[in-house]
């Protein structure tokens, strides 16, 4: 009886594994400038970014929503004081961020590396 119970528990854990897996955006990322950014889950399909190092340590860089490696939301460019409507995608160990302000007149992009 104990063996059946253990096998049943193991089955439940194995089936739950993929559902419990973190989204690709979750983690620590390094900007080309060397600054570290951390994205954490902050709601259902919502991810909040915070600066971990440098001049803006502890500041929010915005929120992204989505899943499966494709996200959209807002990115704060702290050194410019602007908030961009943007997109993010994760491919391997690269997080690509892009965003625009003024209806697409000014756009920026950046690639970060997973740490």
For the ranges 2-11, 55-64, 83-92, 94-103, the lowest mean pLDDT is seen at: 2-11
Three-class secondary structure of residue 62 per DSSP: strand
**Dihedral Cα 36, 56, 52, 63, nearest 10 deg:** -90
Percent of residues, the chain, with pLDDT higher than 70: 83
The Cα 14–Cα 20 span in angstroms is 10
pLDDT, tens only, 2-58: 555 444 444 444 444 444 578 999 999 999 999 999 999 999 999 999 999 999 999
- pLDDT exceeds cutoff 60 at 85: yes
pLDDT at 43 (0 to 100): 93
Q: How many Cα atoms occupy the beta-carbon half-sphere of 33 within 13 Å? A: 11
Output the pLDDT for position 16: 40
Q: What integer pLDDT is reported at residue 98 of this predicted model?
A: 94
Domains of the chain as residue ranges with CATH? 24-114 (2.40.128.520)
Residue 114 reports pLDDT greater than 50? yes
The structure's pTM equals 0.78
Pairing of β 106-114 and β 94-101: antiparallel
Segment 54-71 mean pLDDT: 97
What burial class does residue 80 get, using C-beta atoms within 10 Å of its C-beta: 0-12 exposed, 13-18 middle, 19+ buried?
exposed
- Which tokens belong to 24? 């690709």
SS3 at position 96: strand
């Amino acid at each position: 009886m104990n063996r059946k119970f253990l096998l049943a528990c193991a089955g439940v854990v194995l089936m739950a594994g993929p559902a419990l897996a973190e989204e690709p955006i979750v983690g620590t990322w390094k900007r080309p400038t060397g600054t570290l950014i951390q994205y954490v889950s902050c709601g259902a399909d919502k991810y909040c970014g915070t600066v971990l190092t440098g001049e803006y340590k502890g500041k929010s860089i915005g929120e992204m929503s989505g899943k499966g490696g494709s996200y959209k939301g807002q990115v704060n460019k702290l050194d410019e004081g602007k908030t961009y409507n943007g997109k993010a995608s994760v491919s391997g160990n690269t997080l690509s961020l892009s965003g625009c302000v003024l209806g697409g007149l000014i756009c920026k992009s950046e690639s970060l590396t997973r740490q």
